[in-house]
Chains A and B, each alone.
Chain A
Amino acid sequence: MSKVNYLKDFRDSKKIQALAKLIRDEVDRPIKIMEVCGGHTHTIMKYGLKQLLPEEIDFIHGPGCPVCIMPKERIDHAIALAQDEKNIIATLGDMIRVPGSKSSLQKERAKGKNVKIVYAPFDILKIAKENPDKNVIYFAIGFETTTPMTAALIERVIKENIKNVYFHINHVLVPPPVKAIMDSGEAKIDSFIAPSHVSVITGAKIYKEIAELYKTPVVVAGFEPVDIMESILWIIRQFKENRREVEIQYKRAVNWEGNIKAQEMINKYMEPRKTFRWRGIGDIPYSALKLKDEYGELDAEKVFKDILPNKPINDHKLCICGDILKGIAKPYDCKVFGTTCTPQNPLGSCMVSSEGACAAYYKYGKLQYLNKL
């Protein structure tokens, strides 16, 4: 069977094997790589890349999964908003399954509350038109990659003077949690594989400070197995050549400056929050975005302020998602992994999203787990 070209080229087994050999030949010290994004964790597990790599290479799974890092109190916001039958809560896929303090949006939907999954933010416009007597609240999630779409939707809503769409903004940023993890010093990380799709928007420049401050190589990598293998090789070579810098492996679409137009659109409507609580990591200053004050009439957190709970809620005490997101534990270290906590019945957020480390280990890593037993 012939495959689409990019699949052929970037999943080519000869290339993967050749890169694995180069890595084995060239590696001369233990390297702890944090792959920041859950999408990379997924690729590493799905393609069994760890099995091809020498012992020296260790992956630490990072906090780059927008569903996994959502604190329970934010989910409780969405659930509180859904209680009013005048409101329709719209969000992206996996978000509806994440447990808040007592319920999830999926459970609320089963109870008859108005919860809708959208594939693209612009679907909100259709829902708003079809339900003129309802408030459509977009529970917006995602890193820099998805933020421009939300900004574009905000622009349409303003331009077309649509009166029944509100925004609950949960867009988060990549560099602040990485810095928070490095500053805490708990996880021993000496290099990073950074997500290419984020840098399509932001450019590779957002990692300059990290590479300089912590003296760590950062390679902005694509999501196919060849991309990841090549990035690992580049990290090894940076250490050997005593370089610590940002390199772009995903040259197919990433440059240093990124998509300036998209950045301008985000900056027009949104600005950093003073602080945002990350599940498992805690409060990180200026790590997430909010609507600018002049767009307050669109901001669900302001318009519906009176009904939104705001008490921080801790995770289930057996769940170690926090430590996993901080890079100091792996899914197999968790006592409830695969037993009480499964993708069908997740206790913690890392098991919910398909990009979560626990879900990736559960789905693809069982063989290694069996072999270890």
Chain B
Amino acid sequence: MKQILLSHGGGGEETQKLIKKLFFKYFSNPILEKMEDAAIINPNSKLAFTTDSFTVSPIFFKGGDIGKLAIAGTVNDLSMMGAKPKYLSCSFIIEEGLPFEDLEKIVSSMAEEMKKTGVQIITGDTKVVPKGSADKIFINTTGIGEVVYEGISSHNIEEGDFILVSGTVGDHGACIMAQREEIELEGNLSSDCASLWSLVEDLINAGITIKAMRDPTRGGLSAVLNEWAEQSSIGIEIEEEKIPVKDEVQGLCELLGLEAYSLANEGKLVLAVPEKEAEKALEVMRKNELGRNSEIIGKATSDYKGKVILKSPYGSKRIMEIPAGELLPRIC
């Protein structure tokens, strides 16, 4: 079996071969192929700039892999700021001995995911570290996007604004946890890992006023809503029964004593819009496959400033806490 050797990261012949035979095969574009020390780009609008490192374990999971996640994660961070993802850098830190086949699977899945938004990898780096110094593979991607919609901020939410979520929450976190703990559940527990740009683009094209928008990754829905409540100095009231949760995810939460709204997502967005645009936004989102299960889950209020309140359908209320303590490490 062909494996990644230390020499593949040595900067010599083997590195060149790896770059040309594998990375160019999947990532090819004119800027990357120049193979200069830095890529030159020529933007014609405001830029958004972000970076993220991916260390998920296991590297292959239901619904995705570390490669797909490394693209979608950074693409989503750009998208949440109203920026169309344009360029990525990509750095691999690979543990010696990783099967070449696995690396190719990861790289091809990255290429596949990039097609969905047209984003390109235009610069990169590869390091190979001795066995035991890393766990299989870590990937860093840095992204640049062109801002097409300005003014999105978690400080913007006002009393009366409606809160929407683009589908079932907790899928990614539950999937990784179940796979890592080898908990076999009936049904299809699978990560929601996806690039969200097309959904954001639909909202922008429909003329929706996007006041705040986030992809609820680590810490899940509750972390995002709590940050919004604090930063916008408002209260947020959420109807608990409106939060979409898959049966499989709820089942796992029951087993382990977790809340789906505190689990990570990798293909969902949370949105705050003015009340009068909420129904239209919902309609736009549901038309896109990525937002098929969207729901209006609550609204901003002047009560309980800085807090998120969960309302039960039978009339009791409680605070939706920010997740704390020992959460699951290495989920993305």
| Residues of A near any B CB (own CB < 8 A) | 1-4, 7, 13-14, 16-17, 20, 45-49, 51-52, 119, 343-344, 354, 363-367, 370
- CB of A52 within 8 A of CB of B245, answer no
Q: Which residues of chain B come closer than 8 Å to A45, judged between CB atoms?
A: 318
A3 interface neighbour in B168, B247, B307, Cβ under 8 Å:
B247
Which residue, B250, B257, B318, has most C-beta atoms of chain A within 10 A? B318
Asked if A52 and B319 sit within 8 Å, CB to CB, the answer is no
- In the bound complex, do residue B245 and residue A1 qualify as a contact, i.e. CB atoms below 8 Å apart? yes
Query: Are A344 and B318 touching (Cβ within 8 A)?
Result: no
Report the separation of the CA atoms of residues A2 and B246 in the bound assembly, to the nearest whole angstrom. 8
Q: 18 pairs across A/B with beta carbons < 8 Å?
A: A1-B244, A1-B245, A1-B247, A3-B245, A4-B247, A4-B254, A14-B314, A46-B318, A47-B312, A48-B316, A48-B317, A343-B324, A354-B257, A364-B318, A364-B319, A367-B307, A367-B319, A370-B304
B315 to chain A, nearest CB (A): 7
Would you call the interface of chain A mostly helix, strand, loop, or mixed? helix
A358 to B325, CA, bound (A): 15
The 10 A-B pairs at the shortest CB distance, nearest first, are namely A48-B316, A13-B313, A13-B314, A51-B316, A16-B314, A366-B319, A367-B319, A17-B314, A364-B318, A1-B244
From the candidates B244, B247, B315, name the one contacting A52 in the complex (CB within 8 A). B315
* A-chain residues with CB within 8 Å of residue B246 when the two chains form the complex: 1
Minimum C-beta distance from A134 to chain B (A):
21
* Given A48-B318, A343-B325, 9 additional A-B pairs, CB 8 A: A1-B245, A4-B254, A7-B250, A13-B312, A46-B318, A47-B316, A343-B324, A344-B325, A365-B318
CB distance from B286 to the nearest CB of A (A): 14
A33 to chain B, nearest CB (A): 18
Is B321 a contact of A363 with CB atoms below 8 Å?
yes
B:289-321 near A, CB below 8 Å = 293, 304, 307, 309, 312-319, 321
B37 within 8 A of A: no
Q: Which residues of B contact A48 (CB under 8 A)?
A: 312, 316-318
Known: A20-B314, A46-B318, A365-B318. A7 touches B254 (CB 8 A): yes
Q: How far is the CA of A14 from the CA of B304 in the complex (A)?
A: 27
Q: Number of B residues contacting the other chain (C-beta, 8 Å)? A: 26
User: Complex formed: what's the CA distance from A51 to B319 in Å?
Assistant: 14
**How far is B276's CA from A313's CA once the two chains are assembled, in angstroms?**
62
Closest to B255 in A: A119
Chain B residues lying within 8 Å of A1, measured Cβ to Cβ, are: 168, 244-247, 293
Nearest-neighbour CB distance to chain B for A148, whole angstroms, equals 19
Tell whether B181 is near chain A: CB-to-CB under 8 Å: yes
- Give the residue name and chain of the B residue nearest to A119 (CB): B181
**B251 located at the interface, meaning its Cβ lies under 8 Å from any Cβ of chain A in the complex:** yes
Contacts of B307 in A (CB 8 A): 367, 370
- Interface residues in B229-250 by Cβ distance below 8 A to A read 241, 244-247, 250
In the complex formed, the residue of B with least CB distance to A46 is B318
Instruction: Give chain B interface residues in 23-43, CB to chain A under 8 Å.
Output: none
Whether A367 pairs with B318 at a CB distance below 8 angstroms is yes
Q: How far is A367 from B321 in the complex, measured between Cα atoms in Å?
A: 11
> Complex formed: what's the CA distance from A364 to B244 in Å?
21
Q: Is the CB of B316 within 8 A of A52?
A: yes
Residues of B within 8 A of A4 (CB): 247, 250-251, 254
Interface centre among B241, B307, B314, by most chain A C-beta atoms within 10 angstroms, is B314
Chain A's closest residue to B256 (CB) is A119
Cα-based distance from A3 to B241 in the complex (angstroms): 11
* Chain B residue, CB-CB nearest to A342: B324
Q: Is the beta-carbon distance between B247 and A367 smaller than 8 angstroms?
A: no
CB neighbours (8 Å) of B254 from chain A are 4, 7
Docked Cα-Cα span, A20 to B251, in Å, equals 27
Cβ-defined contact, A51 with B251, below 8 A? no
Closest to B251 in A: A4
A49 touches B250 (CB 8 A): no
- Chain B, Cβ-Cβ closest to A42: B257
One of B245, B293, B324 near A344 (C-beta < 8 A): B324
A367 to B309, CA, bound (A): 8
| Closest residue of B by beta carbon distance from A45 | B318
Residues 76-119 of B, flagged 1 when their CB comes within 8 A of A and 0 if not, give: 00000000000000000000000000000000000000000000
Contacts of A17 in B (CB 8 A): 314-315
Q: Complex formed: what's the CA distance from A366 to B325 in Å?
A: 18
